[in-house]
Structure 1
């Protein structure tokens, strides 16, 4: 039987949209349980005596939240139309089904992940972005959903081994199919997904710490270097953070830029790396020449190379 947990006795604040929105819990004086009102749909979310963030992150922006917000907004639009104060937007919303509304929203979020990934990769490769964002630059340790810093994202492993992603990012793609998103495809080339860092201690929820695939090397250098010594990279993590040449080309990175970046950072080509992982018995004809690791040390004066694998 697990030991009892101590309750959190003070209100807890959950920031969203880089701190622009701050949701503060309310504590029931009798039960001591925390609850918070979702800013998107106005529903009250119970967080328990420990003010656990998972229920809020799983709810905010997910399908039930979107449905509730859609019904609320559609009702308000109908009331404005009946009162004679409706707008063209109200007319459009009243005549829109939730299925059409949510499908458009999900398509936009799916494409946005790919769009943001291209910006992040250009920043990592220190190459000119042909379509730079005019409003805000990519962050040093950017969120894969929006490209900015400050978002909290957690990769959650369920009992049967499936994975889900919770995030407070306003552009959180809640419908993400993790396995599909982690693989390159011609339709959606970006494979920047949250991954677990095996070197970090587990979070309060018991889940491993989460980092974004494209940010992995930045994280390892900044969080796990000891002085001028870089940490060894566990083999499984190194496999997870590979970016293929085909993916880089599809996202607008010229092949000579990729090759030059690899040489400058002493990163072996994937052909050589697969030999290291799989052993000398691997037939050369079966090896891929399209895999690389990503090491962005442009923000750090150490310029360390994370060049070996932990056995």
Structure 2
């Protein structure tokens, strides 16, 4: 590892823990500190042209990655994206669907044929910083309250699991995006408008009750006359 000089077999997972600790403001005694701006998920450095990474997403099968980072190595994307008890780190390159949205099907068709192409990727642990910097119109749970709620797909691309943060020895009070409570600030997939609360019409009930109570008295007075 270029940051701590440890000999590791899974550089992506190892460096990912360094990055999570840096994001959580947990200083480490390292030979070289984690890059401060969008650190590379393979080496942990920032600003190196060779660390730029691109992704090609296919309709089926794992995506292809393209980078010249000296620490790059081939890994099983789907396994890493899901994480496991033994390898909880889920820091993988993802496609930002705010930058590269999927077009809807053409009229009269159920699907749209998309020709896969390489686009700039963002490492999962960098997605919060990416959205804060590049998509100012959106709110980011735990970081920016103002703005439109994040689409569910974007939130999923930046979500962190409890397991990977525990594995990185991050105190719970410093956990990043990923807690269940943060879902309140996210647009559910397929939702369009907010429904009116079911009890909202009840505000008119107090106006009807006085009239109902007074009418029998008026009828009674008329009968006596």
TM-score normalised by L of structure 1? 0.45
Structure 2 counterpart of 1:178:
77
Residue 170 and residue 230 in structure 1: after superposition, are their counterparts in 2 closer, same or farther (change >3 A)?
farther
Structure 2 counterpart of 1:300:
none
Aligned length: 160
Q: Name the SS of the counterpart of 2:82 in structure 1.
A: coil
Unmatched tracts of structure 1, length 5 or more:
1-106, 262-266, 277-306
Give 2:121's match in structure 1, choosing from 193, 198, 210: 210
More strand per residue: 1
Structure 2 counterpart of 1:257:
174
Q: Which has the larger radius of gyration?
A: 2
Give 2:38's match in structure 1, choosing from 113, 128, 141: 141
Give 1:168's match in structure 2, choosing from 39, 43, 68: 68
* CA deviation profile, 1:81-121 (whole Å, cap 9, x unmatched): xxxxxxxxxxxxxxxxxxxxxxxxxx94x522122111110
Q: After TM superposition, give the deviation of residue 214 of structure 1 in Å.
A: 0.5
Asked whether the equivalents of residues 89 and 164 of structure 2 are also in contact (C-alpha less than 8 Å), the reply is: yes
Structure 1 counterpart of 2:180:
270
Partner Cα separation in structure 2 for residue 218 and residue 230 of structure 1: 15
1:116 aligns with 2:116: no
Q: After TM superposition, give the deviation of residue 212 of structure 1 in Å.
A: 0.7
Partner Cα separation in structure 1 for residue 35 and residue 182 of structure 2: 32
Q: What aligned pairs does 1:151-300 form with structure 2 within 5 A after superposition?
A: 151-158=51-58, 160-173=60-73, 175-201=74-100, 206-226=117-137, 230=147, 232-258=149-175, 269-270=179-180, 273=183
* CA deviation profile, 1:204-262 (whole Å, cap 9, x unmatched): x844431110000100111111599645422112123211112111112122432xx6x
* CA deviation profile, 1:176-197 (whole Å, cap 9, x unmatched): 1000011222222211001101
Partner Cα separation in structure 2 for residue 217 and residue 272 of structure 1: 13
Residue 257 and residue 186 in structure 1: after superposition, are their counterparts in 2 closer, same or farther (change >3 A)?
same
TM-score normalised by L of structure 2? 0.61
Q: Name the SS of the counterpart of 2:55 in structure 1.
A: strand
Unmatched tracts of structure 2, length 5 or more:
1-6, 102-115, 139-143, 192-225
Asked whether the equivalents of residues 200 and 208 of structure 1 are also in contact (C-alpha less than 8 Å), the reply is: no
Q: After TM superposition, give the deviation of residue 201 of structure 1 in Å.
A: 4.4
Partner Cα separation in structure 2 for residue 148 and residue 231 of structure 1: 32
